[in-house]
Amino acid sequence: MEYFTDTDMGLDMGLVNRAVESAFADHGRGQIQMPPKVYVTLPEGDFRTMPAYLPSLGIAGVKIVNVHPANPARGLPTVMALTVILDVGTGQPVAVINATRLTDMRTGAAGAVACKYLAPKKEIVLGVIGTGRQAEVQVMAISQECRIRQIKIWSRDPSHVRKFADRFMAFPCVAAPVEKACDCDVLVTTTPSRVPIIRDDWIHEGTHINAIGADAPGKEELDPAILQRAQVFVDDPAQAVHSGEINVPISKGLYRESDIEGTLGEVVIGKKKRRDAEAITVFDSTGLAIQDLAIAKIAMQHGRKIELPFP
């Protein structure tokens, strides 16, 4: 068995985008095994287990990932992850992967794939709500699929906006009030909010939204009225209903599971699509185990490794 460290170093974001896109296509065709993630609640956060089998890549395994919002004050990442890969033929563990940064990258790749197929145009003004690690990797991944003409950035802390802009000096970046950041072609929301922070009247026709932050029951970033007038595409229906952007509106009777337009996998394979240029589209991302397997396959080819005897 091998332990892979520093597995994000040197990985090409475009390559990761394509691998995740292929995994979504397999999902759209029903060619994967992936039960919904399981949540365990802890006093200051939670952890999730995410098993899957991706036959097209001949890979199976499980990721364990935590979310602890208070961790940055302790000098720790909010999200940390470990992926265990099993031999498909024997079930023997063959690799343990430090998947902390890979989790960021595969989520960014999902947002990029959504933009590739659902953004209203290929040259975009990008609005970014939140300035953490996921906001950063969303920009990195989306820039592989769309030409970013300008980035409008909002954060509750202005100093975070300045630091974020410094990381993306290749693009024109401006600090913006939250409502002005929503005046864009593609909006990315990456906060852990439990109350809507994006109002319906800030979103104009033709906008595509990557709703990334809501990944657990009780979280929501968007005014439910946005969902009611948008085409909502989810990564996986069961997970989205349980813990995605639509979870709170559904629990309050403000949105119905039957209102979901389709999955991103169905969009990738051409079964579903943006209705027209004026449509508002939302990608509700909860994070899929097949994304983790797709990026694990790349990491095992490129990451630094240490041999661990097993059994």
Q: From the CB of residue 230, how many other CB atoms can be counted at a distance below 10 Å? A: 20
Alpha carbons 134 and 104: distance in angstroms, whole number: 6
- In whole angstroms, give the CA distance from residue 199 to residue 213: 16
How far apart CA 204 and CA 262 sit, in angstroms, is: 22
The structure tokens listed for 230 are: 């948008």
Residue 232: CA count within 13 A, CB half-sphere: 26
Give the CA distances from residue 5 to residues 75, 212, 234, 298, in Å, rounded to whole numbers and listed in that order. Answer: 20, 26, 31, 13
Q: What is the helix (H) or strand (E) element at residue 138, kind and residue range?
A: helix 133-142
Active site members: 63
How far apart, in whole angstroms, are the C-alpha atoms of residue 206 and residue 281? 8
Torsion of CA 267, 232, 242, 74, to 10 degrees: 90
Residue 302 CA to its chain's centroid (Å)? 22
